[in-house]
Structure 1
Amino acid sequence: MEAVLPIEVEIPSMRVLAESKLKEAEWAKQRYEQLNLIDERRLTALCHGQCYQQRMARAFNKKVRPREFSPGDLVLRKVLHIAPDSRGKFPYKYDGPFIVKEVFDGGAIILNDMDGNENALPVNADTLKKYYL
């Protein structure tokens, strides 16, 4: 008796078919059926992949809390460390507080500082967090 891989039992190879002494027409018919099953298995794998992605997106989005700002709210702006800072390895992570002047669709927000001076560029809402006194 010869050892056969488990995969060869499910999808027979030429060696297994030769040992089982199938006729050539019967072998061709079985190979054709197996080729037709490949498309079905590929579609099944694609479906499973899409279901997995949807489950992961649903699990991730469950924990996301939307940030809603309205004019007059106090916020802190995240500092983007582009320029070198003199505080070494302990720089501030947030700057402010600022006052929300105007909120646009898509998450753009115009800020005023506490003195009432308007910042020229809008800021993305992802870089802000509410400030509570």
Structure 2
Amino acid sequence: MTEYEAYVLGIRVIIRQNIKTLRVYRDSALVVYQLQGEWETKDIKLVEYKKLILDLLKEFDEVTFHYVPREENYMADALATLTVAFKAGGKLNMMSIDMQLYEYPDHCYQIEEVKDKKPWYHDILQYIKIQSYPEEATENNKRTIRRMATGYVFDGEILYKRSHNQVLLSCVDVREGKMILEEVHDGVCGTHANGHMMARKFMR
């Protein structure tokens, strides 16, 4: 509902500017694909929002929607940061702000990417399955792997992390983790559980 509210407010402002070509970039796949008609709008609370927005869009000659994944939506993150950093009133003259767009977020340049394409839990899984260690593992590394492995359970083809309350959390790689977070954020999983519970997949 918050995403739809943002659409309504933004479109009404644009209509007042007499703009006739509209390109919408949002990081909510749910709203973008619902407005495009690719996804069905099942939630009764959103049906009226969708109807209102489609009526407003009749004011434009051309409208296109573009889904931008949240991790790529750098401009929105930067503007949100600036919003909470500055307090401006009607009588305050704001200095101009120069912004530069980098290919990756700054923290990504500080992280050394692993190139072997193996999931983070690969060594633990290999030890549990066949009691093997990485070729370069020292005795200290082997002890660490054995100690860590006691907190995991292998069932079928899935490795689980045993939590402090004995709940088994399935281990996922980076690709699966991103997919799960996107689905939770976009509401694909429905409302039978809150976001925190739905995100309790063990990943790294």
TM-score (norm. length: structure 1): 0.24
Greater percentage in helix: 2
Q: Which has the higher strand share?
A: 1
| Structure with bigger gyration radius | 1
